[in-house]
Structure 1
Amino acid sequence: MTKTRLLAALIMAPVAIAAILLLSTPWIVALAAVIFLAGLWEWFELAEIEDTLARTVLLVAHLALMVAIVWASRSVGGYSYFLFKLASVIGVVWWFFALLWLRNYTFASNHETWARFFKLAAGALAVLPAWCALAWLHSGEPRSPGNGNNGHIWLFTALAIVWAADSAAYFAGRHYGGMLFKDRKLAPRVSPNKTYEGLIGGMVGGVLVGVCGSLLAGATGAQLPLVALVALVAVLASVIGDLYESLLKRHAGVKDSGHLIPGHGGILDRIDGVLAALPVFAVGKAMFGF
């Protein structure tokens, strides 16, 4: 399984990096919409929306919201990113509530009640803000002193933080899990395999990659501590995103959100941490002005 997982990553990573660095913002936003909506389709399945027509209508409704945001953001001088920024802030707030949801494992676990409503709302609050944050980062807005117009590199840095944290956590958990904290697990009821050692490894890996990426994007030496702080919070957010998707899968009684990617499961299995980290990184970057 590890070889299959690694091979799939070696194929996907260059394609993703090339798209981020070479495509213009409208194209990367359109491509991201396709990927995020595919993940949302799997989210509907985890919420046990069994009717294909119902899932299709819901997906079209979310696509219409994306189109509406882009259309409403047009201006004489190009695009105003106010709605994208507002959605990103809403996303940060949502993931705070998701953390509280994780503390109450049984909330919305019975799909015979209003559970589907809550999970569908959660899907919108996870996917749309992440997509907006991606567009905001890639566009290079705001163009504060020190960041030039390196939105492509900043988006790559934000995603690389999540990828590095995920990989570092995986290998740290496998090799050092149980050594520091014995048999204590990070979230045993939601994701029994996650360890505190893995969390620490992910934090270290994510912050290091975030700092290195920020230097490529034009961050100054004085800004590096702030970059490290935002990267750290983004890593923690990605863990919340990963755990929340695990919660959905536990409620649905499935191992993976799908089987599209060999060794990795579904699209949602690959972007769960990204959904949470992107709004956090985008808002943190804007707050500290790097």
Structure 2
Amino acid sequence: MSGLRQRVVTGAALAAGLLAAILLLPTALFLVLILLVLLLAAWEWTGLMGVDEKPVRLLYLGLCLVLGFVALDHALTMGRLWPVVAGVIWWALVLVLLAVYQPGIVGTGRHALKGVAGVMTLVPACVALLMLHAIQPAWLVFLFLLTACADSAAYFTGKRFGRSKLAPHISPGKTREGLFGALGVTLLLGLAGAWYFEVHLGLWFYFVALCLVTALLSVAGDLFESLMKREAGVKDSGEILPGHGGVMDRIDSVTAAAPVFLFGLLWAGILVR
């Protein structure tokens, strides 16, 4: 099977499976799926950290799982939003890092810092995804649609019109023209989403702006994983998904988008817990 065909087949299967899981699974079972993805992504992250010892990698998985349980318990049972807020703050810091990044700035031997980065990337995203599912699964479908369409629009627009590199030291293939294409599609999706979810007319501008910010953060999530792979000297985070690489290669955008999107919805009162 050719690389492109394999990528399309795997992508279609993932999309169908994800849609079915979101719409058909109760939140308790969706939690199991989220924790499984967390463990797979955390395992791949240890590879990006440059950790080869299996006991250390398993210890890191256990740490992520415990922190995930604690954060989910605080968010879902106690109604505390600190895990989501922590995610928003984290991605604000990542934006600064992406702006000043030069090859080698992260340092190949700083395992502890990279380990913290993995926790902050994965745990708040898992909390946000599960909260969206618990409140209304349709919002989670919309979030994945938003990030997927932004990613596709950026790829095809960049392929056709791309001239100016967006982040040449991190991901030379990404262009500013591609980013503008992603924002254009996001604008249309934001308007459609405001109508579909019956957002109050006075909040339409805010909602569309939130969608645009979410799309921008999804690009930041993609770039941050690219940065980690560049520092690790690898092309993909793993090989579990034929034609796509690893789990992190598929969820990098949504890890950044989910906390910001959920926080923005709750802050404006568009969603109520």
Whether the TM-score (by the shorter chain) exceeds 0.5 is yes
Q: TM-score, normalised by structure 1?
A: 0.87
Q: Equivalent of 1:162, from 140, 143, 147?
A: 147
Give the match's secondary structure for 1:186: strand
What CA RMSD, in Å, does the superposition of the two structures yield over aligned residues? 1.6
Q: Are residues 4 and 211 of structure 1, via their aligned partners in 2, closer, same or farther at CA, if it must alter by over 3 Å? A: farther
Q: TM-score, normalised by structure 2?
A: 0.92
Match status 1:173 vs 2:153: no
1:280 shift after superposition: 0.5
Q: How many angstroms apart in 2 are the aligned matches of 1:212 and 1:3?
A: 31
Q: How many angstroms apart in 1 are the aligned matches of 2:205 and 2:29?
A: 33
Match status 1:232 vs 2:212: yes
For 2:28, the aligned partner's letter is P
Do the aligned partners of 1:81 and 1:136 also contact (CA within 8 Å) in 2? no
1:272-287 equivalent positions in 2, closer than 5 A = 272-287=252-267
For 2:171, the aligned partner's letter is S
Residues 120-151 of structure 1: CA distance to partner in whole angstroms, max 9, x if unpaired?
000001111001111222221xxxxxxxxxx1
Q: How many angstroms apart in 2 are the aligned matches of 1:133 and 1:72?
A: 12
Match status 1:216 vs 2:211: no
Match of 2:269 in 1: 289
Q: Equivalent of 2:90, from 75, 90, 94?
A: 94
For 1:193, the aligned partner's letter is G
Q: Are residues 81 and 202 of structure 1, via their aligned partners in 2, closer, same or farther at CA, if it must alter by over 3 Å? A: same
Q: Equivalent of 1:198, from 165, 171, 178?
A: 178
Q: How many angstroms apart in 1 are the aligned matches of 2:176 and 2:165?
A: 6
Once superposed, which parts of structure 1, at least 4 consecutive aligned residues long, lie more than 6 Å away?
none
Q: Equivalent of 1:117, from 104, 112, 120?
A: 112
**Structure 1 regions of 5+ residues with no counterpart?**
141-150, 179-183
Q: Equivalent of 1:104, from 97, 101, 106?
A: 101
Count of aligned pairs between the two proteins? 266
Do the aligned partners of 2:72 and 2:127 also contact (CA within 8 Å) in 1? no
1:81 shift after superposition: 2.5
Match of 2:14 in 1: 12
Do the aligned partners of 1:230 and 1:284 also contact (CA within 8 Å) in 2? yes
Task: State the identity as a percent.
Answer: 37
Match of 1:181 in 2: none
**Structure 2 regions of 5+ residues with no counterpart?**
none
Q: Equivalent of 2:129, from 122, 129, 134?
A: 134
Give the match's secondary structure for 1:4: helix
1:41 shift after superposition: 1.0
Q: Which is richer in helix?
A: 2
1:202 shift after superposition: 1.2
